[in-house]
Amino acid sequence: MKWTKEKINKQKAYFREQRKDPTGKFTEFVVRTYYFLYKICSETENRMVRSNVTYRKELIDFVYKGIYNEPDHMAQSVIDDCITNLKEMSYIGFRKISDKWMIYIKSNLDFLLFGEHEKYLETLNITNDFMAENDLPCVDKTENNNTLKIYRYKKKCYKCGNETDILTYITYSDNLSESMVYPWDKRRALNDQDIFAHLSDPSIEYYGINVIGDIESFDKEMLALYPEQIAIRYSNITKTKYPMNICSHCGAIQGKYYVYRDINTYITQMKPLELFAEFNKL
């Protein structure tokens, strides 16, 4: 069962109290579990670790080191309890990627004493440039990401040469309904990279993202909202009909393949896109 806000606050107050004046071991176990995960996440390309890490013997050894020499049969349930606390208090998060649950570091422990965080980083040899997801620069923390974001950029029409508006959503392949927001999380988009496409055409990364033309329900929505700019047309590349952008000057189609290419470039170059509109997802 999900913890209530009240329970989270109570637990945080308890942890803070325990750091100042420890009467038990559990808080230290929680902190150690957190930093063990922190260490592994800081060393992986996508800043995540498979959730079965919680069964690793090294984790138990690290958590119990110097406290109990021989972890007893209860050790695994203690670790599980630590994980539950960290998860419910949003210090770590779980994300499903290609059918596997991954753990990532969501926010810093905010009940530690002054200097403790640095001490753990030093002890575990963690480089300073690793950051909890919620502490990444420029990420809008109030963003709950319940909306589908529509971005706009200008593109030179291949047919008439004039600049026309392109509208598109950008969502992640690992979560079709989650809008990508600036600053672009390249590493996450690279997780589901189309590596074969990239190898045969290295001019773009082929990030694991969706743009207009990829997700039917969102396309329908855009078609209804922007009938002047979006229309169902036949594409010679995909040999199918789907909603796509239309040049406002000559009516030529601006198919999804080209939009996908443009968005890849925006992400690679870390260039922001204009947020044109957003609407609630169903």
Q: How far apart are CA 36 and CA 56, in angstroms?
A: 11
Q: How far is the CB of 257 from Zn ion (least distance, A)?
A: 17
Which residue intervals of the chain are DSSP H helices?
5-20, 26-43, 57-64, 75-88, 116-123, 186-191, 195-200, 216-225, 256-268
Q: Which stretch binds Zn ion (CB under 5 A): 55-63, 91-99, 198-206, 243-251?
A: 243-251
Which one-letter DSSP state was computed for residue 3? Answer: P
252 counts as binding Zn ion under rule CB under 5 A = yes
Partners of 211 in the β-ladder: none
Q: Which stretch binds Zn ion (CB under 5 A): 178-186, 230-238, 251-259, 265-273?
A: 251-259
Among 176, 195, 250, 275, interactor with Zn ion by CB under 5 A: 250
Nearer to Zn ion by Cβ, of 160 and 204: the residue is: 160
231 counts as binding Zn ion under rule CB under 5 A = no
Nearer to Zn ion by Cβ, of 183 and 251: the residue is: 251
Start-to-end C-alpha separation, the chain: 25
Q: How far is the CB of 251 from Zn ion (least distance, A)?
A: 7
155 counts as binding Zn ion under rule CB under 5 A = no
249 counts as binding Zn ion under rule CB under 5 A = yes
Cis peptide before 183 (omega within 30 of 0): yes
At 229, list the tokens: 């700019």
Under the rule (CB under 5 A), what is the footprint of Zn ion?
157, 159-160, 247, 249-250, 252
